Amino acid sequence: MSTELHETARALVAEGKGILAADESTGTIKKRFDSIGVESTEENRRAYRDLLFTTPGAEEFISGVILYDETIRQSAIDGTPFPELLASKGIIPGIKVDEGAKPLALAEGETVTEGLDGLRARLEEYRGLGARFAKWRATYTIGDTLPSEYCIWANAHALARYAALCQEAGIVPIVEPEVLQDGTHTIERSGFVTSHVLAALYTELFDQRVDVEGTLLKPNMVLSGYEASSRAGVEDVAQATVHTLRKHVPAAVPGIVFLSGGQSDEDATAHLNAMNALGPHPWQLSFSYGRALQAPALKAWGGKEENIEAGQRAYYHRAKMNSAARTGVYAPAMEEELAAV
């Protein structure tokens, strides 16, 4: 089983490829549909995911897709279950298994992610539905005194318990400790907090017997706070992020698949590109983007069947740009390709 986990983890960070996070909760995708004036019905959600998953050639750049509980049970227009459709294109199906961040008891302003109860049985079911990897997200707020040791270790413990259960079920765990970049903090403060979070995470993963060669890390990038008066540039972000990761992430981890957070589409690509340009690194540096891969496609589609091809072109373009960033060859001028189509 460990060999299979290692192979799947490596396949998810194959050269030039990354992961599409299409695991928005019903509440989150409603907000995205509201932004384009589309009602968030089950059929509209299915149609939108169908647009993404059937995009011709996307498998050139996309290695895996994280699905939501509703989505993993849905099918394409021709009746093919989404996990089967993805697998037929060489794309590995995955599944979000956490049940969201909830208020952490006796810790005002902090959260802990829930979903461990019944997880063993759910993982067994998801594997039967075709999932070969999973994702669990924990969140940490940056403040003058936050996050607390209590929050950092509570979430590290839960992430490790989740990872161990995944590996027991033959599923590769993506561990996602997201240090939220909202606020006015400096890039130095972001790096300090991210370091603290990663140190606790890998201590817990080791203590709970998780084989890190069969895992992937999905972290935040080290950024200045989104409301900071002075924001660090692309090269500074790349340097700070790589420095932090090199201090705490074991070389045995096959890959790091960044989340995009609140970054613009092009910023997320540029930051990834700059980090890869600093290589070689002991692990693959890739992407696991949601909004930063989907936003242009969602806008182009607008809920209209006649716009499906336009939406697919927009998604394909963003996937191609991030693939280029995997090898450090992305340039802003490449963004003009889509306009020329």
CATH number (domain holding residue 132): 3.20.20.70
Residue 57 has pLDDT above 90, yes or no: yes
What is the per-residue pLDDT across 193-233, written as a single tens digit (0 to 9) for each?
Answer: 999 999 999 999 999 999 999 999 999 999 999 999 999 99
What is the per-residue pLDDT across 3-32, written as a single tens digit (0 to 9) for each?
Answer: 999 999 999 999 999 999 999 999 999 999
Q: Which phi and psi angles does 323 have, rounded to 5°?
A: -65, -40
Q: Residues in the chain, how many?
A: 341
What is the per-residue pLDDT across 284-308, written as a single tens digit (0 to 9) for each?
Answer: 999 999 999 999 999 999 999 999 9
Percent of the chain with pLDDT over 70: 98
- pTM here? 0.97
Q: How confident is the model at residue 336 (pLDDT cuts 50, 70, 90)?
A: confident
- Catalytic amino acids? 176, 218
Query: Between residues 337 and 143, which one has the greater pLDDT?
Result: 143
Mean of the per-residue pLDDT values of the chain: 96
Tally of domains within the chain: 1
Which range of residues forms the domain containing residue 57? 2-340
Sign (positive/negative) of CA torsion 99, 311, 78, 128? negative
Per-residue b/e over 29-66, b at no fewer than 16 CB within 10 Å? bbebbeeeebebeeeebbbbbbbbbbbeebeebbbbbb
Amino acid type, 131: A
Q: How confident is the model at residue 338 (pLDDT cuts 50, 70, 90)?
A: low
Residue 339 has pLDDT above 70, yes or no: no
End-to-end Cα spacing for the chain: 45
